[in-house]
Amino acid sequence: MHQLRETASGGRVHRVLVIDDNEAIHDDYRKILCPSEAASFELESLSASLFGNVEGSKSSLNYEIDHAYQGCEGLEKVKVAVQAGRPYSMAFVDMRMPPGWDGVETICHLWEVDPSMQIVICTAYSDCEWTQVIEKLGTTDRLLVLKKTFDCIEVTQMATALCEKRRLLHMAEEQTEVLESEIESRTAQLRQLAESDPLTKLPNRLVFYQLVQRSIDLRAHDPDAFDVVMLLDIDNFKLVNDTLGHHAGDKLLLEVSDRIRGCVCQFQDCTSGPNCVLARLGGDEFAILANSLKCLDDARKIADSILAAMNHPFVLDGRKLNIGVSIGMAKVECAKQDATELLRNSDIAMYESKAAGKNRLSVYDEKMHEDLLARVEFESDMRDALKQNRFELYWQPIVDLDTTRICGQEALLRWHDPDGRLRSPNDFIFTAEVSGFIVPLGEWVIEEAIRTIASRTDYFDDVYRKTINVNITRRQLVEPDFVDIVERLLRKYQVDGRFLNFEVTESTVMHDPDGMANTLHALRELGGRVYLDDFGTGYSSL
């Protein structure tokens, strides 16, 4: 780092090196640049012949002059100055300094050590042609020529200009270093943002995709390698977000990532263990790339340890939550695969885990792909059926055991297939839940029930006090605007809420009793009742 010493008065001191074999010349430079120093009386006559009258010369800058009498001596001083962080601002170099290097050779060596050094080469008319100088030193703005004989004004002017130039160059270098450091820091930040998940600091989808592709490419060179990709999805994460808020959801993501990371590190620390990379792909989805496995059982051990780690309750804002993960695994089969296909296969296996009851591992096979295509087609058929009015409500009487009178009806949903078959909810409700189709389908059921009440004022009135019960699922209850939709439909058909009851299963309520309580209470405020269905088959039977 270039350092400029300051005088007691605060002015900068510029270091100047004089390289000349004539000691008297050194004294004359001192007189011109440092007039406060005592001049040598023996050299006055030589000074007059070279510089004229130097008595009145005053410099506006402060100089610290150093002296060398041969080029090699000057080079050593420059090396020491650079190493000490106090380089010379400029140097006056004589052209002829027998028996050593001449000025041009000296300058070549000086610039090798300090390329920014400003130099004045002092030459007589007969010393050297300018073309010879630039032939060796090149055309540069670091070099000026001072022809003998010269006077003190020329020396002062050159020293002032070149020292100030070196100072400005130093300032520019410092600012450049600061700017480069800031650019490097910002670049690192941008790289961090581009390559990692901002919440968990894990590698993101882009980086994971690249790592998977690299793993596939390496199979071409190592066909016996056993690598797998695992996708992990937190079960019922949306329920946590909707009931406890996104802040709690973020805390859960951090705790889940810590537990998974601990499991992965446990296997990596083992001798000859796999090389695993954990990433967050987005939302509640994580991924693991495990390389250098010996067999499928090694991969299963990693997945089993994660499932076991999730068995311990999570505590969020004072609440204990039992959270599971559904894991899908796919093996890198061959170098002909690509990352997109491998991640798709893992995704299919993960959804197979959810369909099989969640919180488990499924390993991809071709049948899963076929089943997925069938499920996608089935979902499409359901949506088409709703648009084409092929769903219908059947009415099951509800009997009062005390009076044996019919006191209401339960709405039972049926689906008329184009081929004439009548499908019960057992055939499609689970798929509707998983796909989210249960939300528009459930709204249709509620509207159809309310429309039926409105059309049978002779049956649903204060005399008969008959009601309609509709079943609602957990997926519907966690919708933020579910109660508002019911209230809007009651107003639309001008139906009293007392005639519409709701049935929820015990497992739906017990999964998150605190979170469901507010929604169920709001439904009761509309006028109807809320019944617990299948009571005694779930938690209460334990």
Composition of the chain by helix, strand, coil, percent to 5: 50, 20, 30
Q: What token pair was written down for 91? A: 């140097």
Please answer whether residues 229 and 289 qualify as being in contact, where contact means their C-beta atoms are separated by less than 8 angstroms: yes
φ, ψ dihedrals at 413, nearest 5°: -85, 135
Half-sphere exposure of 340 (CA within 13 A, CB side): 0
Q: What pLDDT score does 125 carry?
A: 61
The CATH superfamily assigned to 205-364 is Reverse transcriptase/Diguanylate cyclase domain (3.30.70.270)
Q: pLDDT tens track of the chain, all 542 residues?
A: 455 555 544 457 899 999 999 999 999 899 999 876 544 444 454 555 555 554 444 455 789 999 999 999 999 999 999 999 999 999 999 999 999 999 999 999 999 999 999 999 998 766 667 788 888 888 888 999 888 877 889 999 999 999 999 999 989 989 999 999 999 999 888 888 888 999 999 999 999 999 999 988 887 777 777 899 999 999 989 888 887 888 999 999 999 999 999 999 887 755 455 688 999 999 999 999 998 888 889 999 999 999 999 999 999 888 888 899 999 999 987 767 889 999 999 999 998 898 888 899 999 998 888 888 888 888 999 999 999 999 999 999 999 888 888 888 999 999 998 888 899 999 898 888 878 899 999 999 999 999 999 998 777 766 556 899 999 988 898 888 999 999 999 999 999 999 999 999 866 666 667 667 888 999 999 999 999 876 444 333 33
Q: What pLDDT score does 7 carry?
A: 52
Q: What pLDDT score does 150 carry?
A: 74
Please name which of 233, 239, 235, 234 lies closest in space to residue 319, comparing C-alpha atoms: 239
Please answer whether residues 74 and 52 qualify as being in contact, where contact means their C-beta atoms are separated by less than 8 angstroms: no
What CATH number was assigned to the domain covering residues 378-541? 3.20.20.450
Q: What pLDDT score does 450 carry?
A: 95
What pTM does this model have? 0.54
Domain edges within the chain: 5-173, 205-364, 378-541
CA distances to 222, 225, 261, 344 from 288, rounded to whole Å, are: 20, 16, 10, 14
* DSSP class per residue in 159-210: HHHHHHHHHHHHHHHHHHHHHHHHHHHHHHHHHHHHHB-TTT--B-HHHHHH
Query: Rounded distance, CA 90 to CA 16, Å?
Result: 5
CATH top-level class of 5-173 = alpha beta
Q: Is 331 helix (H, G, I), strand (E, B) or coil?
A: strand
